[in-house]
Structure 1
Amino acid sequence: MPSALQNAPGSNLGIDRASNTIRLARDFDAPPADIFEAWTKPEHVTCWWDAAGDPLAVCEIDLRPGGSFRFVTRGHPDLPFAGVYREIAPPDRLIFEALGSTGRVLIREADGRTHMIVEIECSSSEQLDQFLKMGVSAGTGRTLDSLVAYMRSRASRAA
């Protein structure tokens, strides 16, 4: 059976209509544990989460299964991104629910680098279409680009 995943050539973005999932991938020159920490420690998340590149106004993380998180950007203080953690498996996997969807951060070492896949599994094809129209994939892509830049800046400061 052919894959339902649609990728633009050279893109780090895929849309899997069979599972109503948006997938984004990034590679890092940092260990998986550092990437996982960047997703789970407020002092790091605050620095890269906002797609506009500004530090978060609020970053609250209760890192445990059933614990919640809330991120508030300076540009949209009335639209917090909030959810609940479902699975925490350092440094490989972080699963959470937010905006009626399931988010997965999958991290693995490959060829001396770290490969990360972020999945947003929507509850329906209608929600997937709504997320795509709202620009969730583009905004998430910019946010992940900010994470890549943040990790590079941390590495250069440490060198």
Structure 2
Amino acid sequence: MFWTQKQWWRSSANLIVKKEDHNSQSIVSAFPVGKENTDLSKYFIGKSYVASLTSNKELNLPIANVTFEPGCRNNWHKHTNGQILIAVVGEGLFQERGKDIRRIKEGDIIEIEPNVDHWHGATKDSWFAHLSIIPNQESNKNTWLEAVNDEAYEAANKK
């Protein structure tokens, strides 16, 4: 995989790594990229990758690292118990229905209220990864809605 203006690839540890010159490397995210998100690909424009970070189901609070290639975004959707996103690398976009687009970057935390229509993904020029935290997963139902059309996505990238 590559990112704009620099070479990027997956290391053997499955981390996103950038090569700034022939002698140095720096790790961009400490979290694994995971596998291509083929199970939910029909709800995404572009490719995304998911790595589950927690395994104790008794906690009922799964955390996953979700990575979006440039231009990738998910459909409008909502969660009955809400969702928390923590941006870990790159630049992304987030929008709740009826509200202004928000650019998100490393360290930003998005708290999404229950049953609020929203979408998120990478900007057109940047890879983007966030931690996805799903509170009360056993009763937190995700409803997928319509795709974010190209016109709206392009307008969001200009803001």
Shorter-chain TM-score: which interval?
under 0.3
Higher normalized strand content (fraction of residues) = 2
